[in-house]
Structure 1
Amino acid sequence: MGEVPVPDGNPIIRDVYTSDPAVLVHDGVAYLYTGHDEAPPDASRYVMRDWLCFSSSDLRTWTPHGPLLRVEDFAWARDGAKAGCVVERHGRFWWYVATNHATVPGGAIGVAVADSPTGPFRDALGAALVTDDVPDGRVGDGQDHTNDPWVHVHDGQARLWWGKHRCFTAPLDDTMTALAGPVTEIELPGFEEGVHVHERDGWFYLCYGHGYPQRVAWARSRRPEGPWTVEGIVNELAGNCATNRPCPVAFGGRWWFFYHNGGLPGGGSRRRSVCVDRLHHDPDGRLERVRMTSEGPLASG
């Protein structure tokens, strides 16, 4: 018998290990911002020094723009180019990233800014926006509560979410470089990390990594500040990978679900690869379970 052909739509980036996808749609182009896994095959720790960017007009063919941001671009940071996101506001592009602070115990969130989605980006603040002692003075407890920032803008108000094991949120001021109100904690069962918020038809959806190894759970609310009702699981364990960073996004008249797995040759939990599949909302606005495929954006329907 002949060899069975295997579609190669997923992972969508195949010549480098990528992780923690965040997607910005600008002028009909999808800009994919990712972490960059460089750990050797037998590594027990992550090796992540910079953040990458790719662009596409069809989610099938991606143009690399190289590392657009590095840990050393933040003079106050030590190491660890962890997850981030990019949001457009006031005609500029704001990149929020998690890294490790050089002098304050634990992790931190920084923000860089550029006039184009492909940079050049520079540190917008010259200091960390959030450190591990926000909001309750706890630092150095090994939890890295500053992981995985996400920013969403609704009715002119930008709001930041972040956390590991504990999920926090706070409004941002108009400069996009300072918190503009109290930090509140969101109680989410099984919350691990990877919070992401999107909006559709009057609902706000909060997806997050649940448990470990991570599935993706989701909650929804009529308000961006909550309260949130946890509804269930939207994505199962991603192949050969213990983490799972969700990123739902509307593009080309459809909803898509970006995530990462360990699906490339030599891949694994510290050598991850970004994938994308369709995301569907049922008639009641509930998220349907994502069907992870090899075809990815090559699939129809």
Structure 2
Amino acid sequence: MPVRSTGFVAKCWAALLSGGLLAMLSPSTAVALPEYSTAEAGNPFVDGWYADPDIAIYDGKYWVFPTASKPYAEQTHLDAFSSTDLIHWTKHSNVLTTADITWAKYAVWAPAPVERDGKYYLYFAANDIQNNSQLGGIGVAVADRPEGPYKDALGKPLISQFHNGAQPIDQDVFIDDDGQAYMYYGGWHHNNVVKLNPDMTSLGTFDDGSTYKEITPENYVEGSYMFKRNGKYYLMWSEGGWTGPDYSVSYAMSDSPTGPFQKIDKVLAQDPAVAKGSGHNSVVNVPGTDTWYIFYHRRPLSETDGNHRQLAYDRMYFNPDGTIRRIAMQVKDNFADGNALGWKTYGGTWSVAGGRYRVGRDLGAKSLLDTNFADFTYDADVTVNSGAGDAGLTFRVTKPSVGPDSYSGYYAGISPSGKVVLGRANGSWTELGTARTSVAPGSTHRMRVTAVGSSIKVFVDDMKTPKISVSDGTYASGANGVRVFNTAASFDNVAIGTAR
């Protein structure tokens, strides 16, 4: 089953760890124990338009099952992604398709994975039914392997009707420590919980004889998700409009898997500097630890198509009383995954090799992230390989195009001889300041730019004393990126955050 609690499963892992037995487990069963602050190799962590990610741990691997975020009629299949380290991901295409489900035609949404007794189950919604006379709802498919292929277990939907006003979509399956399985689901602002029988393909009943129990919390819209930590049950859900910037994640806590659930806080929302439309999440706990990650989808700032959603994850922290801290969408990229997803280039020949982002010699090539920071701290490692020019960081950039100074914004760079330069571009170059620093041929420098209002400071290696400090308020916000001028260079360990 997916590891979602620090109850019985986590206690077993803790016992193994404390006894030194983890080393005796085979590589196929030992789960990697990453300790990241976010997706350190960059969000999105996989390529393509996807949404509604649900994560499970199977046989020592993390498995993410998302919705294919395409036009309505093209949502006819599901892909999966697996990883041992949450950095390198393998794509498994078409683990489930409508060709394997006789009653499903389109709108295959929100896969929910779970393992039981050696069988792998994948719950999904299909056909986006609008009333009880239409065919569709929540189905269940089964496979002998995590990557499928998954086949229809019933030949019909498991839940095909509206109950308590809940559209049968956006299901999540949770197995409690006592072995009881529950499904949480619902759209149209209503949330139900049902019991699953041990066969995982039929519904049980509650003590009062009912099958469908409504547990709708305040502001619930869709995308419910359940996990357990330290004996407490956490219900998470999405609110707002899925195409709008107000899409977000809230949560409630309870002593029971069936509630009652009262909203505590909104913990994940759009950040106008990073991404919009963040929601429909899942959660994973690294076994044997109290390290948690929230997986979700979001929309890049420059995208207006509702289906242009990407998969991301960030660290999730808890307060001493068990409540969840508000989650910050962090911006980092150490290129350890061998790609530069999320970066857009303007001129030059760019590649990722040896865990670094590289560009050949060019008279002004730049690559930008889809960010819009105003006040920030921006760090990166810069290695100037050859040439008479310089390489470094661009920021508060708008209107980028191919050409040496074809953008509006700022640039701070360093040359092979140790000259540090800060300037402003808007089709032409205006120098704002220069300095010198000691260098060795081909050496790597840690560069930092802090910008708060009109105050701009550039640091090189020494992060305490700025090499250049100026006041210039020409550009207030924009994208962050990297750039070369008449040189070849490489970049690594990019990190951007709001200035405090």
Q: What range is the shorter-chain TM-score in? A: 0.7 to 0.9
2:179 is aligned with 1:156: yes
What does 1:94-113 align with in structure 2 at a 5 Å threshold?
94-100=121-127, 104-105=133-134, 107-113=136-142
Contact 1:197 1:205 in 2 (8 A): yes
Alignment of 1:92 with 2:116, yes or no, is no
- What are the equivalent positions in structure 2 for 1:2-81 lying under 5 Å apart? 9-14=42-47, 16-39=48-71, 47-81=74-108
- Other structure's SS at 2:127 match: strand
Amino acid at match of 1:157: Q
Instruction: Map 1:222-301; keep pairs closer than 5 Å.
Output: 222-237=255-270, 241-242=276-277, 244-251=279-286, 253=289, 254-263=291-300, 268-295=305-332
Q: Residue 172 of structure 1 aligns with which residue?
A: 196
State the shift of 1:240 in Å. Answer: 5.5
The secondary structure found in structure 2 opposite 1:249 is strand
Q: What is the identity, as a one-letter code, of the residue corresponding to 1:124?
A: A
- TM-fit CA distance, 1:251: 2.3
TM-score by length of 2: 0.53
Spell out structure 1 runs of 4+ moving beyond 3 A: 101-104, 238-243, 264-268, 296-300
In the TM superposition, residue 265 of structure 1 has moved relative to its aligned partner by 7.5
The 1:260/1:101 distance shift into structure 2, 3 A limit, reads closer
Residue 224 of structure 1: how far off its partner (Å): 0.7
Deviation at 1:187, TM superposition (A): 2.6
2:149 aligned with 1:117: no
In structure 2, C-alpha distance between the alignment counterparts of 1:257 and 1:67, rounded to whole Å: 24
Whole-angstrom distance in 2 between the partners of 1:109 and 1:82: 9
Secondary structure in 2 aligned to 1:119?
Answer: coil
Query: Which one has a bigger Cα radius of gyration?
Result: 2
For residues 73 and 323 of structure 2, the distance between their equivalents in structure 1, rounded to whole angstroms, comes to 35
TM-score of the superposition, structure 1-length normalised? 0.86
1:46 Cα deviation from its structure 2 partner: 7.0
Tell me the amino acid that sits aligned with residue 80 of structure 1.
Answer: A
Q: Following the alignment from structure 1 to structure 2, what is the Cα–Cα distance between the partners of residues 82 and 169?
A: 18
Deviation per CA, 1:111-131: give whole Å up to 9, x if none.
000111111211111110001
Q: Residues 106, 186 of structure 1: CA spacing in aligned structure 2 closer, same or farther, 3 A cutoff? A: farther
**Structure 1 residue 274 displacement after superposition:** 0.5
Shift of 1:27: 2.4
CA distance in 1: counterparts of 2:216 and 2:92, whole angstroms: 38
Query: Which residues of structure 2 form unaligned runs of 5+?
Result: 1-39, 206-210, 337-492, 496-500
Contact 2:107 2:128 in 1 (8 A): no
CA drift of 1:91 comes to 1.4
Where structure 1 has 5 or more consecutive residues not aligned to the other structure, the ranges are: 1-6, 40-44, 139-143
Indicate the SS of the match to 2:99: helix
Give the superposition deviation at 1:35: 1.0
Give matches, 1:181-220, under 5 Å: 181=205, 182-212=211-241, 213-220=246-253
Asked if the contact 2:294–2:314 (Cα under 8 Å) also holds between the matched residues in 1, the reply is yes
Q: How far apart, in 2, do the equivalents of 1:83 and 1:24 lie?
A: 14
Percent of paired sites with the same residue: 30
**Per-residue deviation at 1:24?**
0.7
CA distance in 1, matches of 2:313, 2:96: 23
Letter in 2 for 1:159: Y
| Higher RCO (Cα < 8 Å, 6 or more apart) | 1
Task: Kindly indicate whether residue 152 of structure 2 is the aligned counterpart of residue 130 of structure 1.
Answer: no
Q: 1:47-77, CA deviations, whole angstroms, 9 ceiling, x for partnerless residues?
A: 4221110101111110111120112321012
- Paired residues, number: 281
SS at 1:282 equivalent: coil
- TM-fit CA distance, 1:267: 6.9
1-structure distance, mates of 2:106, 2:256: 35
Q: For the residues of structure 2 that align with 1:267 and 1:104, how far apart are their CA atoms?
A: 34
Residues of 2 paired with 1:267 and 1:97: CA distance? 27
Deviations 1:94-148 (A, max 9, x none): 1000111799427400000011111121111111000133x25x7xxxxx71110
- How far the C-alpha of 1:176 sits from its partner, in A, is 0.6
Q: Taking structure 1 as reference, are residues 177 and 211 closer, same or farther at Cα in structure 2, changes over 3 Å only? A: same
